[in-house]
Amino acid sequence: MDGTDRAILNHLQVDGRLSNLELAERVRLTPSPCLRRVRNLEEAGVITGYRAVIDPAAVGRGFQVVAYVELEGQDAETVTAFEAAVLEIDDVVECLRMFGRPDYVLRVAVPDMDAYSQLCLERLGRLPGLDKLTSQIAMKALKTGGALPL
């Protein structure tokens, strides 16, 4: 990866909807080599996808919770079962496996406190291998989904 690839990535992180022509102009390439570089970055797994960034409150998901999970065991079976179950819960919008405690950090987006309480009772509290679930309610999102410094 060279400076031009990094420039392409920087521009696409800010605006993934840039046309190839506009992107090529910004990184000072002609459109054909620019498109070739973008496709190479996609095929190499550097660019993993494109998506719209949505305001959670605008779609009724403004109640943001950070949940800390500790598992009963760290064996492969427990970890695999837990991770598979978490991937099935749409309200969990981010899941990070951690070194040390907690074992996982989840970011949950739901409509309100009642919805989160129901989610805890029906889904999160029943996750395989769960030992402890601790939650914190976010007061305000200052910075989310930020661009990676390249």
20, part of any domain: yes
Q: Write down the residue that tokens 């919770």 correspond to.
A: 65
What does the pLDDT read at residue 145?
Answer: 80
Instruction: Return the structure tokens found at 25.
Output: 């102009």
What does the pLDDT read at residue 141?
Answer: 84
What does the pLDDT read at residue 9?
Answer: 97
8 with 38, same domain: the answer is yes
What does the pLDDT read at residue 144?
Answer: 84
131 with 89, same domain: the answer is yes
CATH of the domain at 69: 3.30.70.920
132 with 80, same domain: the answer is yes
16 with 82, same domain: the answer is no
Cα dist. 80→66, 71, 89, 131 in Å? Answer: 21, 12, 15, 15
pTM of the model: 0.85
The residues of the chain scoring below 50 in pLDDT are none
Q: Contact, 48 vs 29, CB < 8 A?
A: no
Q: Give DSSP secondary structure letters for 17-38.
A: T--HHHHHHHTT--HHHHHHHH
71 with 123, same domain: the answer is yes
68 with 112, same domain: the answer is yes
What does the pLDDT read at residue 148?
Answer: 86
39 with 83, same domain: the answer is no
Instruction: Return the structure tokens found at 90.
Output: 């749409």
What does the pLDDT read at residue 117?
Answer: 98
What does the pLDDT read at residue 143?
Answer: 85
Domain count, the chain: 2
Q: Contact, 101 vs 70, CB < 8 A?
A: yes
Write out pLDDT tens, residues 61-101.
Answer: 999 999 999 999 999 999 999 999 999 999 999 999 999 99
Structural domain containing residue 115: 56-137
Q: Contact, 134 vs 68, CB < 8 A?
A: yes
88, part of any domain: yes
